[in-house]
């Protein structure tokens, strides 16, 4: 045999040995990292008092240039009001005069003037509750932002701050 054929046969033999040696070994198995047991996040619902305290703390710390008033009746801002929404006629089973509207949870004041209202409501149904509707209508009539938050939602601090700032600007 000539040298080229001999060299080629040697290379083929070495390649076969190498392939056979790789096929004979069992493949190494990757070790899967042990999973940590998922710690269940137990969310408990806050009470109305806890929600009020949470929002009050945010308002006091993030909006220090405003005076924060709590549980302000509609009439404190609008004065005496008649039943201009005709609730006695349109909703006789829900006879609420405007004076009985849901008090604003918080009112932000600056220089003795109301600047915005913040309402906390439990559930989306509060939008259809006459007391909330009255409060919203009078805020609109007075030219005040009516900022409502649903207490069944997460209401992360950054979200609350951003939303209030949006209404104040």
Containing structural domain, residue 126: 48-168
Q: How far is Cα 83 from Cα 98, in angstroms, rounded to an integer?
A: 6
Model pLDDT, residue 164? 96
Model pLDDT, residue 129? 73
Residue 21 lies in a domain: no
State the total domains in the chain: 1
Residue 111 lies in a domain: yes
Residue 69 lies in a domain: yes
Model pLDDT, residue 165? 96
Model pLDDT, residue 109? 96
Model pLDDT, residue 44? 62
Residue ranges in the chain modelled with pLDDT below 70: 1, 3, 22-44, 81-88, 91-101, 124-128
Residue 53 lies in a domain: yes
Place of tokens 């710690």: 39
**The pTM is what?**
0.65
Residue 135 neighbours by CB under 8 Å, 6+ apart = 74, 101, 102, 103, 104, 117, 119, 146
Residue 9 lies in a domain: no
Quick: pLDDT tens for 125-166.
666 677 788 888 889 989 999 999 999 889 999 999 999 999
């Amino acid at each position: 045999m000539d040298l080229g054929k001999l060299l080629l046969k040697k290379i083929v033999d070495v390649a076969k040995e190498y392939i056979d040696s790789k096929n004979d070994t069992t493949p190494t198995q990757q070790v899967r990292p042990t999973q940590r047991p998922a710690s269940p996040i137990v969310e408990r619902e806050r009470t109305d008092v806890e929600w009020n305290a949470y929002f009050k703390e945010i308002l006091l710390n993030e909006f220090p240039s405003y005076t924060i008033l709590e549980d302000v009746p509609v009439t404190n801002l609008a004065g005496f009001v008649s039943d201009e929404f005709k609730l006695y006629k349109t909703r006789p089973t829900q006879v609420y005069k405007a004076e009985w509207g849901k008090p604003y949870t918080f009112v932000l004041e600056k220089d003795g003037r109301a600047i915005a209202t913040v309402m906390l409501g439990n559930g989306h149904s509060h939008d259809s509750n006459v007391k909330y509707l009255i409060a919203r209508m009078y805020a609109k009539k007075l030219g005040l932002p009516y900022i409502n938050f649903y207490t069944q939602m997460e209401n992360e601090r950054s979200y609350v701050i951003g939303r209030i700032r949006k209404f104040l600007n």
